[in-house]
A = this chain, B = another copy of it.
Amino acid sequence: MPKLWNDTIEEHRRAVRDAVLDATAALAAEHGPRAVTMSRIATESGIGRATLYKYFPDVDAVLTAWHERQVTAHLRLLTELRHRPGGTAADRLAAVLDAYAGIQRRRAAHGAEPSALLHRGEHVDHAHRHLTALVRDLLTEAVAEGDVRSDVPPAELAAYCLHATGAAADVHSQAAVRRLVTVTLDALRPGPPGDSP
């Protein structure tokens, strides 16, 4: 069944866009995001400069789109982990924080953090709010299941969890990231019965 013309056009556009962003990711990983230029993107992606400029006005626009794609992919992964069936809410929380810490570590380790070059875009703020709400909801479930302390509002615990696991950017091994997540989760344990204020 032949595709509608518009669908084909749209698919082509997405393919070009993805090729540009993949080339940008490769260049940034190899040389750092500051070394990314429109010429290098054109060469690396095999897309002509004239075409490239039809898609993105300048390198900042490419870096912003690349960053947006990364943030969206991370959020999709974390959302999937949050809804994975089976296990307790505390298990799913551990999986989400583990993945989040790994993302923070990889971002820092690559030294290829484009957000340092960019103004924090609306999409980053949006993603951060979304993620905070996701973690808060998991914590609320885990409190109801008796696995997380009930003496601190889940919204505050969510801020704590995301900041604490953000320390993964400052540690130097995958084992250290695992220890960090363990330490972060240890603070969430409910106290002994009658211990809450």
Contacts and interface: CB of A to CB of B under 8 A. Distances in A.
Interface of A: 132, 149, 151-153, 156-157, 159-160, 162-167, 170-171, 176, 179-180, 182-184, 186-189
A149 to B, nearest CB: 8
Contact of A163 (B149, B156, B164, B187): B164
A189 B195 CA distance: 15
Contacts of A132: 170
Contact of A187 (B159, B162, B170, B183): B183
Contact of A183 (B152, B162, B176, B180): B152
A110 to B, nearest CB: 18
A162 B166 CA distance: 10
A185 to B, nearest CB: 8
Contacts of A156: 167, 171, 176, 179-180, 183
Contacts of A176: 153, 156
- The winner among A152, A170, A171 for most chain B CB atoms within 10 A is A170
